[in-house]
Amino acid sequence: MQTTLLFLKPDAVQRGLMGEVLARIERKGLTVVGAKMMMVPRDVAEQHYAEHKEKPFFEGLLGFVTSSPVLVLAVKGVNAIAVCRNLIGATNGQKADAGTIRGDFGMSGGNNLIHGSDSESSAERELKLWFKDGELCDYDRTVNQWVYDPSDL
């Protein structure tokens, strides 16, 4: 089991897509173990996107992600990072496969609806940045017996 970070960006919130995206995550069989809606403080955005600090789009990215509320999620499941990345789709919505979140709802590379951690180390770092100790709920859903074959666990 892995826990990963997702957040629905301001464009997803403003377009009223939170419920649709959350439904896709849950229908896939993933478990939401943390959720909060918030305005992103600039310092959190700077830390989250630190790897892009020297890139020309950095300031625009910070302006975008701090412009409106986001929905931050911690999601748990077998291979959750890869599963979520597949659900999300390619960065640019015009190039993302149909059936993915970005492929079905996105038309941009910048306003691309959702972030998902890209590795275990990123997920660990990002979860600590966005959630305080004690904010995640570790529980088992009885439906998991119908989601996973015992050999998956």
- Domains of the chain (ranges plus CATH)? 2-134 (3.30.70.141)
Whether residue 52 lies in the annotated active site: no
* Contact yes or no for 81/125 (Cβ under 8 A): no
Residue 36 has pLDDT above 90, yes or no: yes
Global confidence as pTM: 0.94
pLDDT in tens, 116-131: 999 999 999 999 999 9
Q: Which of 45, 115, 116, 131 is catalytic?
A: 115
Nearest alpha carbon to residue 5 among 78, 85, 65, 66: 85
* Contact yes or no for 112/91 (Cβ under 8 A): yes
What average pLDDT score do residues 38-55 get?
Answer: 96
Residue 104 has pLDDT above 80, yes or no: yes
pLDDT band at 102 (very low <50, low <70, confident <90, very high): very high
Q: In sequence order, which residues have a C-beta less than 8 Å from that of residue 27 and are 6 or more positions away? A: none
Residue 19 has pLDDT above 90, yes or no: yes
Residue 85 confidence (pLDDT): 98
Residue 151 confidence (pLDDT): 85
Alpha-carbon distance of 118 to 28, in angstroms, equals 18
What are φ and ψ of residue 108, in 5° steps?
-140, 160
Residue 56 confidence (pLDDT): 93
Residue 75 amino acid letter: V
